[in-house]
Amino acid sequence: MNTIFCNITYMVNYCGITTDDMVSNSGGSWVKKNKDANEKYNFLDYNGKCHGFVLNNGQELHIERLKGVEDSDDKAEDITIIWCAKKESVGNNVIVGWYKHATLFRYSKENMPLPNVGLDGSYYMEADSKDCYLLPEDQRNFVIPRAAENGEGKGMGQSNIWYAESPFAQREFIPKVLTYIEDYPGPFINIVYNDEISSECAVTDINTDEELNTLLESGGDYLEQERYYDALKVFNAVKKETNDPVVWFNAGLALRGLYQFDRAIENFEKCAALEGENWENLNPFPYLYSSVQKYADAISVAKKLLDTDEGKEIDTKCELYCILADNNYYLDNVDEAVRWLDRVISESKQEDLIDFARNTKNNWLR
């Protein structure tokens, strides 16, 4: 198994920038100026995966430097990635976490920022969230040596990526690091939405209708406040007491807010099965299906939505045309995709959308 070291800006949770978790000033000039960093989501459970970014000088990662990887390969698999950042209180780069069994891509990839669903972000690494481990701040004390202080091959250089190819790294340092991460007993602070956590309940017993209604109201309040995990726990508890489709729908909203798309789809599908395929119940599906690359399913639902009364309103209709265009394009049905864009161009009243559709069509037909 190959091991690499990646230097990123310092954060606490790496689940997005918040008032309680800002990027460090030690992340480079761009980070300092913009108070932002692509690695801000490195430990966010995104539908069962974590997507890692590290600032790279150049358009590609030289994954051929890893054992068993060829110049023609576009990815390397089963990689251990050690994430490092400068901790001001220590004054050095320390291990903040790691991925096991990760895939490392030669060229960066993008998450699709779909409305109400996706995050806009680039990444070079991907691993199952269950194989990703983020240390609490008080445990971030394992110092990564610097080549400038210890000599060539004996630590990280100026690059943010250290492939650790030197005899020192291979024979001494990497075994030491691997022993450390295997022996570390926990805790870890990144949340992994496994089956146990995803089905967790806020309460175990609901004895009266009044308690049930109070709980439902609190779940709705949590959704409005974007406290999706608290909302999910409430609706999981209510599911044990009632088969009301609204409860399944709201649980789907909570899971969507937590970026757990596959589980959200299951809950929305349960709601639609109980109540029928009306506009409200079908509306979440097209973007969710796109986010998990179920493009044919997204097309099928978008066509059903076009047949509803709500789907005949011009702006809504053109949004559905765009969904149909995109998902056909993802399936390499370019002619069909262009046909839907032509409908946007001929029917929309929004000049910006018309221009966007024309530009997209020209790009697709090149």
Cβ(10)–Cβ(87) below 8 Å: yes
Helix or strand (DSSP H, E) at 165: none
- Are 247 and 299 members of one domain? yes
- Are 175 and 209 members of one domain? no
**What is the pLDDT of the chain when averaged over all its residues?**
94
Tens of pLDDT along 250-290?
A: 999 999 999 999 999 999 999 999 999 999 999 999 999 99
- Are 295 and 354 members of one domain? yes
- Are 176 and 239 members of one domain? no
From 183, 209, 236, the end of a domain falls on 183
% of the chain with per-residue pLDDT over 90: 80
Number of domains in the chain: 2
- Are 137 and 42 members of one domain? yes
Q: What is the pLDDT of residue 251?
A: 97
**Taking the chain, what is the end-to-end CA distance rounded to the nearest angstrom?**
42
Instruction: Answer yes or no: is 27 within a domain.
Output: yes
Cβ(144)–Cβ(156) below 8 Å: yes
For residue 238, the SS3 value is helix
Instruction: Answer yes or no: is 192 within a domain.
Output: no
State the Cα–Cα distance between residues 323 and 339, nearest whole angstrom.
12
- Are 217 and 352 members of one domain? yes
Q: What is the pLDDT of residue 127?
A: 98
Instruction: Answer yes or no: is 195 within a domain.
Output: no
Instruction: Answer yes or no: is 191 within a domain.
Output: no
Q: Which structural domain range is residue 28 located in?
A: 2-183
CATH of the domain at 339: 1.25.40.10
Asked whether residue 27 carries a pLDDT value surpassing 70, the answer given is no
| Alpha-helical segments (H) within 29-117 | 29-34
- Are 45 and 116 members of one domain? yes
Which of 37, 21, 20 lies closest to 29, judged by CA?
37
pTM recorded for the entire structure: 0.92
Cβ(124)–Cβ(97) below 8 Å: no
State the Cα–Cα distance between residues 179 and 142, nearest whole angstrom.
12
Q: Are strands 2-7 and 75-87 parallel, antiparallel or unpaired?
A: parallel
Instruction: Answer yes or no: is 189 within a domain.
Output: no
Instruction: Answer yes or no: is 193 within a domain.
Output: no
pLDDT (mean) for 155-173: 93
Helix or strand (DSSP H, E) at 323: helix 314-330
Lowest-pLDDT range of 93-102, 197-206, 268-277, 335-344? 197-206
